[in-house]
Amino acid sequence: MRIPCPFCGARDSREFVFRGDAQPVRPGGDDAGAMFDYLYLRDNPAGAFEELWYHAQGCRNWLRVTRNTVTHAITDARLARPEPAA
Amino acid sequence: MSAQPFRLAHGGLIDRSRTLTFTFDGKSYTGHPGDTLASALLAHGVRLFGRSFKYHRPRGVLTAGSEEPNALVTLREGARAEPNTRATTIELFDGLVATSQNRWPSLGFDLMAVNQLAAPLFVAGFYYKTFMWPAKAWEKLYEPLIRRAAGLGALSGQEDPDHYEHDHAFCDVLVVGAGPAGLIAALDAGRAGLRVVLADEGAMPGGQLLTERVQIDGQDGPAWVAGAIAALSAMPHVRVMRRTTVFGRFDDGEHGAIEQVADHLPVPLPGQPRQRLWKIVARQTILATGATERPIVFDGNDRPGVMLAGAVSTYCNRYGVAPGRRAVVLTASDSGWQTAADLIAAGVTLLAVIDTRAGVPEILTAPIRAAGVPVLTGGQLVAAKGSPLSQVIAADNQGRRHSYAADLLAVAGGWNPQVALAAHLGHKPVWREDIAAYALGAAPADVSAAGAADGVYGLAGAMASARAAVLKAAAALGTALTPAALPAAQDTAHAVSAVWATGPCKAKAFVDFQHDVTASDVTLAVREGYTSVEHLKRYTTLGMATDQGRVSQVNGHGLLAAATGKALAETGTIRARPPVVPVAIGAFGGHHRGRQFRPTRHTASHDWAAARGAVFVDAGQWKRAQWYALPHETTWRQSVDREVHATRNGVGLCDVSTLGKIELIGADVGTLLDRLYINGFAALPVGKARYGLMLREDGFAMDDGTVTRFADDRWFMTTTTANAARVMQHIDFARQVLWPDLDAQAVSVTEQWATYSIAGPRARELLAAALPDSDVSNVALPYMGAVAMRWRGYAARLFRLSFSGELAYELSVPAHLGAALVHHLCDVGTLFGLTPYGTEALGVMRIEKGHPAGNELNGWTTAADLGLGRMASKTKDYIGRIMAGRPALVDPARPRLVGLKPVDGVSAVRAGAHLLRPGATPAPSHDEGYVSSACYSPTLGTPIALALLAHGADRHGEDVVVHDPVRGADVRALVCDPVFFDPAGERLRG
Amino acid sequence: MRYSIVQLARQALGRHRGWAPAWRDATPKDGYDVVIVGGGGHGLAAAYYLAKVHGITNVALVERGWIGGGNAGRNTTIIRSNYGLPGNEPFYEWSMKLWEGLEQDLNYNAMVSQRGVLNLYHSDPQRDAYARRGNAMRMHGVDATLLDADAVRKMAPFLDFDNARFPIDGGLLQERGGTARHDAVNWGYARAASALGVDIIQNCEVTGFLRDASGAVTGVETGRGTIRAGKVGLAVAGMTSHVAAKAGLKLPIESHVLQAFVSEGLKPLIPGVITYGAGHFYVSQSDKGGLVFGGDIDGYNSYAQRGNLPVVEDVCEGAMALMPMIGRVRMLRSWGGIMDMSMDGSPIIDHTPIPGLYLNAGWCYGGFKATPASGWCFAHLLATDTAHDTATAYRLDRFRTGHVIDEKGAGAQPNLH
């Protein structure tokens, strides 16, 4: 598998660390229920999936990668943090 | 060449000017360069090559390629012995030694063949129905017997002496297979300027151009191939890889390929790997992998002397060997007639050609009839008899029997395109009625098949199909292609019919040769309801032999379809799995074995430590000094006790460079740290360090360490050695994903700093002498203070931190100065009795001080469990705060950190022991915790331990039983505060 | 038809024409007391124990493909009960006890072979962690032996003791651990369940759930029609999220691919199951002679039943580091299965928040060894609406309460378990 890192170019997945679903947003505040949902519940779709990869042996950017979990085809990869203003 | 009685007088791509000598089962034979082990043995008239798995049936050579199921031998001897090697692909070399397998006492006389007598019982799945009584007999009696008979070849049990390499290639077009289709594809793509890799499993590219008597562009096949290879070799952007099998297709254009660098040599040349594993990343892939011939199922179809027709042609044409003297051809496809012609041309007596089809075109039959050979169309093969083959009984279309005294039966059952590579990503081949085979269906977008791999068997057609594949690939790559005219060639007839079995198929009619799966086994499986292709495979083991069903599978599915009344398109086929051909495990491992299994990380002063007698211990990939043995010390405890004593009473030196180190810069680092740690950091003054504890988001402790502030926007964090990479990732996650708005940069500097702890009552004296320009007084550098300084002109940092509980400093210098610093400290330190200490003494001192470390930060503990609950801020949010409040995490009955001392003052309390109340029986319901860390405390003169004990904080002064049944007897211990030494911390502040 | 050597001989005389199908190829009825979704080992075992132990025989098992086609037929066949945490150990030991009598109970030889499971350790902390686990096993009445390097050398002299990056210091041995023939387990349960009246319905994919006005599940919609059910049990590990989503459930589970490998057949040389402690590699040898081995999951979410080269290399690196004689053995075949990776690495056998719908899921890569007990405990739950004594910890709400069962201490990230 090759991850098209927007900073480094297409690189072997060996350089990356996988984390998982990119959708859940960490809730602030004291809502334990929201935190439980964020931390533990997963859609786990069979199909298109937005996921987080860390280019640990490259630029050390966290990436938001769109990959199909059935075909493994990657259709998009971008930095997880917002692009800096030009 | 009377020594090789079956060698033809002329022809073949062998070098007759040189003779090679080799042995098989101890007997000496000769052959020529260009031979395989199989062709050379056939040249001597050897018919018997091996024994089958279950019935130990005698077996000969069936094929001339990597799909061979029968002729498996052990190649070479001793540590280089290589079991289950296909005689059909072993390139002959001088001095080759091969041995037959799975027979006792000898290949010719195999007592295990007695299994055949029990064949009526040994049907598919028989073992599921018996061996159940009595209950204990399976392991004691039946299974040992079965296991003794299992397997084919034996492994030496010795370390593989050869080595293996990994390499990478990137290309626009990968062409797999260098037959006519592959060569055309590579030439076309190469001429268009595309980067091409052409990989072929053989030593000699050419495929069918080497094995069939054809004319191409007015040349014979091998001559044209030579020209094509020369043209390709002249293109710098084209790489031709011989002896290289592409065995697997993976995601994003990645292919695995195995190059057999030195398998054709007696031993690899000095420095040469035996094999090289390639990872080839291709933008487009063209499968020119050809097709493999399938046998036909009939009684006795496994007799030595029954051979696939294409293989017979190959032995005649490529190797100049007649695989027999008196031959019969059985065919269900047009190609069998070509073999008949090849046999006639080779001077073999052809007794008959039997075609199971009724309407065979005159153009095929006429030349054979003209040679005076009887032709039976619409015929059947009743039985092959003799071992080796001596009689072939056929029936004509009237049912009349004909018997032939043949020693060779060439079988042409049709062709299966080799498209497994396209199936590895999950695209199943589809049944094609026109070629009576499974072929490429919906393939990955970047994969095409060409030539026989696409079911196009004629030479001209194959090349045209390759051209079409290249055009498709070039279009996908956006490359214009103006191809030259294709070479002139003729198409031979190549119709194939779907014939799986012929004749009565009563008992010994084999579908899977190696595993002895018969036609009646398939019927039995169907009768018992194992009717999906996967159930059939698993119940009968059909297709699970070393050829992975390349020879057997389609026939099996054909018989299954017939038995279930389904169409082959409906039954489907088994999903092909990598590798296409078996690949040595050593090749996958590459050089990652022995000491090179994983990288070894040395700190800057490793050599100094080694010279000081250090015994090293693995800490992740690091080597750390565990203790420094003096010459007179005979046990490790002597060294460790001395080091602890010296540090507690004088001054010690410890290399702590392996701790993770992270530099953080930015206006919002304080805020970030507040969210990472349970305790507050934003208000930490410049020049101060603070201990912190991080949680995972699920509320359990993750790591601890210190953070020092060197400027308003400049911070320095340490982590444990084990968690360095993980914490770095965690910080990057927090600052990039969770809170990208924070102005906080982070970079790992673990490798950049060498850090030494100088600990003990005389640490300040030593440092004052070693760093005369620095003020190390308690006022200038109090406990938890830090200063940036310079040492020998380079940036350095001095921290007043203590893990040992002593007056202690940590001094960091750039890593390249680490060794120099250690030498300097030791030089100065002789005046103060400076003693280097290792991780063991470090561990003893931290247990004496009750500091949690890796054994306590084990992923199961909370801050409160570790006695650090009071550190948690109530006024800020931080990672793990919410989940740490879950009921199970705040349960007062949770095991809490305590100290333990043996009641008798001498018994060892071991880490990993469990804790029970005195008098309680050892049962899960009485399990109250466990010992996490233990040591002998030279300071206290007694063994001590840290433990996690239910309600532990409330039980100081109680007795517990330390229960360690896997290692020894129970020990009584006294529960105490985890801080055994200097609980007020006076020494470290002094 | 009872299987025995006598029966085999009798059938041989009739040229094996008298054998009956191992299980009935049933067509769905309108309704059942219980419908189990998923024809893997766990579903088949649950159906069998519902009928055998609880007398509930009006049971259908629906399978979208062929039985045993998921992880039940794609594993490395290891059985063991060497867990460290109190939530796990009683359950796996109950499974081991059921393995030990399985063949006689099912009248099907599943080749349960207790040749031992040896976990190697390479450092003092690893030794102590294994000691802790071994002690826990002993307290549960389970066999466990802590071996030193010499004892390991006697068992497996071919390991790399001398040139290793991570020398072998010893191992934790469970002698009762071993292997079983995975397909035979599935077929044995299917045959025995079918004989007790359970309908095994293959090629029957569940496409939705029947719900009543209260929201309770009252049956399943399938490719072969609607099937009403008093209770519906999901045993579809690997696809759990996918199927549960049809009932509107979101679970603490991700699907990940685990690859495994088998070598060409060799004469016997590996005594039992050996697990490397300094890399991702474990190996046993099948009765046919193939070395069956594996390692870690690929690490990314996948439903593809196939993996990539990095893990293949990682596993073989471990193999070469541990037993360098293996270099000349050829890998014959690899395969991939989809794992239900739960958030703490441990399974779930529980009610769901939806009345009528029960869940058996989250087996990670440890499902095969659990097959008998999983079936037993799921049947118990379906029949009695209470958790079996050995499975009380496998609650769905444990993530909310914090009673996680995290053997590795890795936290809420499925691919770290």
Give the residue on B whose Cα is nearest the Cα of A16. Answer: B729
Chain C neighbors of A21, CB-CB under 8 A: 254, 301
In this structure, what CATH number is given to the domain that contains residue B793? 3.30.1360.120
Q: Does A17 reach chain B within 8 Å, measured CB to CB?
A: yes
Is residue B102 over pLDDT 70?
yes
Q: Is residue C6 part of a domain?
A: no
Structurally, chain B folds into a number of domains equal to 7
Indicate the length of chain C as a whole number.
417
H-type alpha helices, C101-181: 102-106, 124-139, 149-155
pLDDT tier at A85 (50, 70, 90 boundaries)? low
In this structure, what DSSP letter does residue C340 have? E
Min Cα–Cα distance to chain C from A85, Å:
31
Give the residue on B whose Cα is nearest the Cα of C328. Answer: B584
Written as one string, the DSSP assignment of C239-264 is SHHHHHGGGT--BSEEEEEEEEEEEE
Q: Which phi and psi angles does B555 have, rounded to 5°?
A: -60, -40
Instruction: Give the residue from C96, C93, C116, C112 showing the smallest Cα distance to C104.
Output: C112
CA dist., res. C272 & res. B493, Å (int): 55
Q: Is residue B831 part of a domain?
A: yes
Q: Is residue C15 part of a domain?
A: no
| CA atoms within 13 Å, Cβ hemisphere of A77 | 23
- B365 and B397 share one domain: yes
Q: Is B608 left (phi over 0), alpha (psi -120 to 50) or beta?
A: alpha
- C220 and C278 share one domain: no
In tens, the pLDDT along B688-716 reads 999 999 999 999 999 999 999 999 999 99
In tens, the pLDDT along B384-434 reads 999 999 999 999 999 999 999 999 999 999 999 999 999 999 999 999 999
**Predicted local distance difference test score (pLDDT) of residue B134:** 82
CB B281 within 8 A of CB B254: yes
Chain C neighbors of B598, CB-CB under 8 A: 165-166, 278-279
Contact map slice: C 26-85 vs B, CB within 8 A: 65-66, 68-69, 73
Exposed / middle / buried, residue B796 (Cβ in 10 Å: 0-12, 13-18, 19+): buried
- B684 and B802 share one domain: no
Min Cα–Cα distance to chain C from A11, Å:
13
- B768 and B911 share one domain: no
Q: Is residue C44 part of a domain?
A: yes
pLDDT tier at B124 (50, 70, 90 boundaries)? very high
In tens, the pLDDT along B603-655 reads 999 999 999 999 999 999 999 999 999 999 999 999 999 999 999 999 999 99
- B7 and B119 share one domain: yes
Q: Is residue C228 part of a domain?
A: yes
Looking at domain A2-79, does it have CATH number 3.40.50.150? no
- C89 and C223 share one domain: yes
- B68 and B195 share one domain: no
User: Please, what's the largest Cα pairwise distance for chain C?
Assistant: 69
Question: Does ipTM come in above 0.90?
Answer: yes
- C269 and C332 share one domain: yes
Give the residue on B whose Cα is nearest the Cα of C8. Answer: B121
Q: Is residue C17 part of a domain?
A: no
Mutate to test the interface with B, among A17, A36, A60 (most CBs of B within 10 A): A60
**Predicted local distance difference test score (pLDDT) of residue B146:** 83
Chain C neighbors of B152, CB-CB under 8 A: 264-267, 289
Chain B neighbors of C264, CB-CB under 8 A: 83-84, 152-153, 546, 582
Q: Which phi and psi angles does B984 have, rounded to 5°?
A: -80, -10
**Helix C182-195 to helix C41-54 angle, to the nearest 10 degrees?**
40
In this structure, what CATH number is given to the domain that contains residue C368? 3.50.50.60
Could you tell me which residues are beta bridge partners of residue B471?
Answer: none
User: Subunits touching C (CB < 8 Å, at least 3 pairs)?
Assistant: A, B
Written as one string, the DSSP assignment of B311-351 is HHHHHHHTT-B-S-SEEEEEESBTHHHHHHHHHHHTT-EEE
- C331 and C284 share one domain: yes
CB spacing of B150 vs C289 below 8 angstroms: yes
Written as one string, the DSSP assignment of B842-879 is HHHHHHHHT---TTTSSSS--TTTTT-GGGS-SSS--T
Which tokens is B652 given? Answer: 């010690």
More confident residue, A61 or B147: A61
In tens, the pLDDT along B340-365 reads 999 999 999 999 999 999 989 999 99
Q: Is residue C320 part of a domain?
A: yes
CB C298 within 8 A of CB C257: yes
Which residues, other chains included, contact C65 with Cβ-Cβ below 8 Å and sequence gap of 6+?
Answer: B532, C39, C202, C203
The mean per-residue pLDDT over the stretch B5-13 comes to: 96
Is residue B1 over pLDDT 50?
no
Q: Which domain holds residue B742?
A: 660-749
> Using CB atoms, which residue from C242, C245, C308 is nearest to A13?
C308
CA dist., res. C328 & res. C189, Å (int): 38
In this structure, what CATH number is given to the domain that contains residue C130? 3.30.9.10
In this structure, what CATH number is given to the domain that contains residue B21? 3.10.20.440
Q: Is residue B23 part of a domain?
A: yes
**Predicted local distance difference test score (pLDDT) of residue B2:** 54
- C337 and C274 share one domain: yes
Q: How far is CA B579 from the centre of its chain?
A: 11
Which tokens is A67 given? Answer: 């990959």
| CA atoms within 13 Å, Cβ hemisphere of B390 | 3
Q: Does C352 reach chain A within 8 Å, measured CB to CB?
A: no
**Helix B459-477 to helix B180-191 angle, to the nearest 10 degrees?**
30
The mean per-residue pLDDT over the stretch B947-951 comes to: 98
- C338 and C260 share one domain: yes
CB spacing of A18 vs C303 below 8 angstroms: no
Which residues, other chains included, contact B506 with Cβ-Cβ below 8 Å and sequence gap of 6+?
Answer: B299, B520
Which residues, other chains included, contact C372 with Cβ-Cβ below 8 Å and sequence gap of 6+?
Answer: C45, C95, C98, C99, C102
Position B863: which residue type? A
* Cis-peptide, bond into residue B105, ω within 30° of zero: yes
- C335 and C381 share one domain: no
Helix then strand then coil, in percent of chain B rounded to 5, is: 25, 30, 45
Domain boundary among C342, C362, C386: C342
pLDDT tier at B149 (50, 70, 90 boundaries)? confident
Q: Does C304 reach chain A within 8 Å, measured CB to CB?
A: yes
Q: Which phi and psi angles does B561 have, rounded to 5°?
A: -60, -45
Give the residue on B whose Cα is nearest the Cα of A37. Answer: B883
- B372 and B452 share one domain: no
In this structure, what CATH number is given to the domain that contains residue B300? 3.50.50.60
Instruction: Give the residue from B301, B837, B243, B721 showing the smallest Cα distance to B517.
Output: B301
**Predicted local distance difference test score (pLDDT) of residue B147:** 83
The mean per-residue pLDDT over the stretch B269-276 comes to: 97
Is residue A15 over pLDDT 60?
yes
CB B722 within 8 A of CB B887: no
Looking up tokens 């398109």, which residue turns up? B569
Position C370: which residue type? A
- B282 and B426 share one domain: yes
Q: Does A33 reach chain B within 8 Å, measured CB to CB?
A: no
3-class SS at B740? coil
Q: Along the 417 residues of chain C, how does pLDDT read in single tens digits? A: 899 999 999 999 999 999 999 999 999 999 999 999 999 999 999 999 999 999 999 999 999 999 999 999 999 999 999 999 999 999 999 999 999 999 999 999 999 999 999 999 999 999 999 999 999 999 999 999 999 999 999 999 999 998 899 999 999 999 999 999 999 999 999 999 999 999 999 999 999 999 999 999 999 999 999 999 999 999 999 999 999 999 999 999 999 999 999 999 999 999 999 999 999 999 999 999 999 999 999 999 999 999 999 999 999 999 999 999 999 999 999 999 999 999 999 999 999 999 999 999 999 999 999 999 999 999 999 999 999 999 999 999 999 999 999 999 999 999 999
Q: Is residue B853 part of a domain?
A: no
3-class SS at C102? helix
Min Cα–Cα distance to chain A from C312, Å:
12
Could you tell me which residues are beta bridge partners of residue A54?
Answer: A17, A62
Q: Is residue B791 part of a domain?
A: yes
- B394 and B425 share one domain: no
Chain C neighbors of A22, CB-CB under 8 A: none
Contact map slice: A 5-24 vs C, CB within 8 A: 12-14, 18-21
> Using CB atoms, which residue from C12, C21, C181 is nearest to B121?
C12
Q: Is residue B857 part of a domain?
A: no
- C34 and C101 share one domain: yes
CB spacing of B84 vs C115 below 8 angstroms: no
Instruction: Give the residue from B664, B600, B602, B605 showing the smallest Cα distance to B813.
Output: B605
Which tokens is B46 given? Answer: 């050897």
- B189 and B115 share one domain: no
Q: Does B538 reach chain C within 8 Å, measured CB to CB?
A: yes
Q: Is residue B875 part of a domain?
A: no
The mean per-residue pLDDT over the stretch B146-175 comes to: 93
Which tokens is C414 given? Answer: 């499925």
- C31 and C128 share one domain: no
In tens, the pLDDT along C192-234 reads 999 999 999 999 999 999 999 999 999 999 999 999 999 999 9
Contact map slice: C 306-325 vs B, CB within 8 A: 306, 308-309, 312-313, 315-321, 324-325
**Predicted local distance difference test score (pLDDT) of residue B595:** 95
Chain A neighbors of B725, CB-CB under 8 A: 56
Chain A neighbors of B738, CB-CB under 8 A: 26
CA dist., res. B668 & res. B812, Å (int): 25
Which tokens is B184 given? Answer: 């055309």
Chain C neighbors of A72, CB-CB under 8 A: 302, 304
Q: Is residue B600 part of a domain?
A: no
CB B682 within 8 A of CB B670: yes
In tens, the pLDDT along B877-901 reads 999 999 999 999 999 999 999 999 9
Element (H or E) spanning C146, and its range? strand C145-148
- C304 and C321 share one domain: yes
Q: What angle do CA C266, C268, C269 make, to 5 degrees?
A: 105
Give the residue on B whose Cα is nearest the Cα of C183. Answer: B538
- B624 and B558 share one domain: no
Which residues, other chains included, contact B625 with Cβ-Cβ below 8 Å and sequence gap of 6+?
Answer: B609, B612, B614, B615, B616, B617, B655, B836, B838, B839
Q: Which domain holds residue C302?
A: 117-176+254-342
Structurally, chain C folds into a number of domains equal to 2
Give the residue on B whose Cα is nearest the Cα of A74. Answer: B252
Q: Does B252 reach chain A within 8 Å, measured CB to CB?
A: yes
Q: Is residue C278 part of a domain?
A: yes
Computed over every residue of chain B, the mean pLDDT equals 96
Which tokens is B425 given? Answer: 């990503």
CB spacing of B883 vs A61 below 8 angstroms: no
- C229 and C300 share one domain: no
CB spacing of A71 vs C304 below 8 angstroms: yes
In this structure, what CATH number is given to the domain that contains residue B908? 2.40.30.110
Q: Is residue B892 part of a domain?
A: yes
In tens, the pLDDT along B192-242 reads 999 999 999 999 999 999 999 999 999 999 999 999 999 999 999 999 999
Q: Which phi and psi angles does C178 have, rounded to 5°?
A: 170, -140
Element (H or E) spanning A15, and its range? none
Q: Does C154 reach chain B within 8 Å, measured CB to CB?
A: no
Contact map slice: C 353-382 vs B, CB within 8 A: none
pLDDT tier at B184 (50, 70, 90 boundaries)? very high
Chain C neighbors of A70, CB-CB under 8 A: 303-304
User: Subunits touching A (CB < 8 Å, at least 3 pairs)?
Assistant: B, C
